[in-house]
Amino acid sequence: MSSVCLSMEGGAAASTPAALPYYVAFSQLLGLTLVAMTGAWLGLYRGGIAWESDLQFNAHPLCMVIGLVFLQGDALLVYRVFRNEAKRTTKVLHGLLHVFALVIALVGLVAVFDYHRKKGYADLYSLHSWCGILVFVLYFVQWLVGFSFFLFPGAPFSLRSRYRPQHIFFGATIFLLSVGTALLGLKEALLFNLGDKYSAFEPEGVLANVLGLLLACFGGAVLYILTRADWKRPSQAEEQALSMDFKTLTEGDSPGSQ
């Protein structure tokens, strides 16, 4: 019975669901439009970006949208897109994309704190900033825990399989919270910069509202691809066999698991 399952799942690994590539392409189109539109908003209406000037602030939204929205979203999709590569390669790519996202987000954080310091503005008073710090800390912790369980060798198989669903849930939740925090930041920027002009349907306001909807749509598209049960990455025959070996080797360490 178990060998039948193995060969069935091994065979399934070679195929990609027919609709998946279209959904992934759509999500990438959304993500790239999102980044381009953030750049366009900052370039057309906010004077562009320059580190050593008042325009330093503008590095913040761009870095956050690239790092904590686009790259973080793509890191979550790695297991759906690279279905037939070795598990280890996919894992390393997943971890690396998250590192890039984290570094770019850190630059975005430095930009806003540095800007506030130079201007003498208060830090961390707004809901956007509270959510932002929460997201950044959770993201960093999730990366560290994920690295030590899944990439660093030595974590027993039973521990990995118990932690995996938590890792996936918290990964998706942190991503959604990042999108929500970006929406709050966008709203904050609009109300600070436009004031009463916002209600007069100024072009900047309409552009930024569309950007907000795109942010929400990108979040929704990533979540859809991630959660569709029949699009999950199939286990490969050799991984299953390896897992069995691992399980046999490490069975002793958790008598009560499953």
Q: Under the rule (CB under 8 A), what is the footprint of a copy of itself?
A: 121-122, 125-128, 130-131, 134, 165, 169, 173, 176-177, 179-180, 183-184, 186-188, 190-192, 198-201, 205, 208-209, 212-213, 216, 220, 223-224, 227-229
Q: Which token pair is 227? A: 């959660």
Please, which residue, 95 or 220, has the CB nearer to a copy of itself? 220
Query: Closest distance between a copy of itself and the C-beta of residue 154, in Å?
Result: 27
Query: Closest distance between a copy of itself and the C-beta of residue 213, in Å?
Result: 6
Query: Closest distance between a copy of itself and the C-beta of residue 250, in Å?
Result: 22
Helices and strands in the chain, H and E counts: 9, 0
Separation between Cα atoms, residue 95 and residue 138, nearest integer Å:
15
Count CB atoms within 10 A of the CB of residue 214.
Answer: 17
Q: Which residue has the tokens 């050799």?
A: 238
Please, which residue, 51 or 169, has the CB nearer to a copy of itself? 169
Please, which residue, 13 or 184, has the CB nearer to a copy of itself? 184
Query: Closest distance between a copy of itself and the C-beta of residue 57, in Å?
Result: 15
Query: Closest distance between a copy of itself and the C-beta of residue 78, in Å?
Result: 20
Count CB atoms within 10 A of the CB of residue 14.
Answer: 10
Q: What is the DSSP letter of 126?
A: S
Separation between Cα atoms, residue 183 and residue 189, nearest integer Å:
10
Cβ-Cβ contacts under 8 Å for 239 (sequence gap 6 or more)? 87
Amino acid identity of 187?
K
Please, which residue, 232 or 237, has the CB nearer to a copy of itself? 232
Please, which residue, 160 or 187, has the CB nearer to a copy of itself? 187
